[in-house]
Structure 1
Amino acid sequence: MVSGQFSFFSCHLYEYHLIKKKKTWDDAQNYCRDKYTDLATVCDVTDTRRLGDLVTTPAWIGLHSIPGRENRKWHWSLPEMPGVEPDDIRSYFGDREPNDSGSDKNCVEITGNKLNDFKCDKKREFICFNDSAADMSSGELSPHNSPQPNDQEDKVVLVTQELTWEEALNYCREHHRDLVSITNPQQQKWVQARAKNASTDYVWLGLRYTCTMDLWFWVNDYLVCYDNWKTPDDGKDLCDYAAAMEKNGEHKWVKKVDTNEFNFFCI
């Protein structure tokens, strides 16, 4: 790709690429999946503002609605991302948007730091992303192709010793690289495939709550974009809590006091 054809910046663990070629939403999706990971996924309002600052004309992102379905939801182009209820994302849209009223405006563009629904067959510039977190062994951003799933899966190690979260962190950093971070549904699948072999009901992840900043963060210093919590925060004091994955069931994440002793995942 020639210099100047795209621009990119890092957001959480994603690299966003603005593609100046104008394509329909479907063609843009195919292009992004061929050259990068997919059309852009937005994690939060901050992402929306950053993407908006990147564009000078309306550009497709990876949000669309599947026509012909009742109880319409918005969906991300990235496979396995959950559907988005209209009320949950309405604040991301501009005034009086989305305004299709059930017509054929089933794709979403970003313009002026806000989202807008538009007809999918119209041609727009578009934003792709690379799942830069895919290099789980280093946590470094990759500017080109994402590693293949099998490469990432091989780097996840289930350690069946029973240690506290802090002890697990030190063990991983001494014998491997770090406790595992999970930043998208694909990584969740690769990690949970090993959970069934654990000898404890829960397995430590590299996610911990910090009281001073009042937020959850990964040990590689990235904020939480994707999550898989079993239950939402209930407002209780979370100091000295860390996240663990369930061994069985849906392998959801649970909040546990970090002095509990569980198996753990290293990378």
Structure 2
Amino acid sequence: MKMHWTEAQRYCRENYTDLATVNNINDMKELKKTVNNNRVNVWIGLKRTGVYKWKWSLGDPVKYLNWETEPSTDTNNCSVMRNGTWRQQDCNVNMSLICYNDSSKSYIIDSSTTTWREAQRFCRQYHTDLISVRNQTENQLINNIINDHQSSVWIGLFRDSWEWSDNTDSGFRYWRSGQPDNFGGSEDCTEVRMWDQGQWNDAPCSNSLTFVCQEDELILIQKNLSWTEALRYCRKNHVDLVSVDSEKIQLWVKAAVHQASTAEVWLGLRHFCSLRIWFWVNEEIVFYQNWAPGNETAVGGSESKAKSGAVQSGVDHLWISLPESHKLNFICTRKEK
């Protein structure tokens, strides 16, 4: 079907979850496989707003900032690191760059100078993306690398006024060269040009296009509740706390915790003290496992110290044992098994 962007959004929300959100390059590959037609343009859920926010090119949530001086509201919408601190920079200035390679978990500095967008394109072509700096430890490590080569380099932090329909705070963008250009002053929605390697273009929301919906089986709840409170919330508002009884669901969990505001996120996993076993709230025994070392046996001996299972929201996404009184974000499932 072909619809205006707002009509497509309404259709997706009524029949699925929302218009599609693209969090990273892997999501982009999946979207291309889903459409499987190199001759069309399709709507996704990205729309221009009037509010500018800082985001990471790699799609990481912005939880740590280290500005040299507080950013202003001028048109310098990109960022460089210099002497361990960050500053705003005109995106069209030529600077050195530093990439992140997810396969080798390494940082790669390149002394050739380019604009921010060219730097992003280079990192995505040869590595994974421009770097994200998620905490003080990473900031110091990256600063040590930069000081050995160059005084100022592009990092992956940029500012734009585009937001996803489902309110996901992802900064991943896949614009074609020269876009978005807001031609005519009314191009506020995002089309994916499948005939142009799936690159994005801004277009009038009144255009009638095919569109891509997403259907999320899991949903991250950014409320800080105890395990029991989280269980009650999921069962009242959705279906249940998530039971991660396969690698497939673990991958869904990994995607869901991307936007978590707590270091750990509750799963539907609890220890049965009298039987000395862990079980899922869907009544499955724990066969598939992804424990951090030692956590599968780290259990309490009394109800006051009852333990439940959570997943790390950081890099490794391993399961850990925590007192169920801790207040954490949590993941609900939206469908019956």
- TM-score, normalised on structure 1? 0.42
Larger of the two Rg values belongs to structure: 2
- TM-score, normalised on structure 2? 0.33
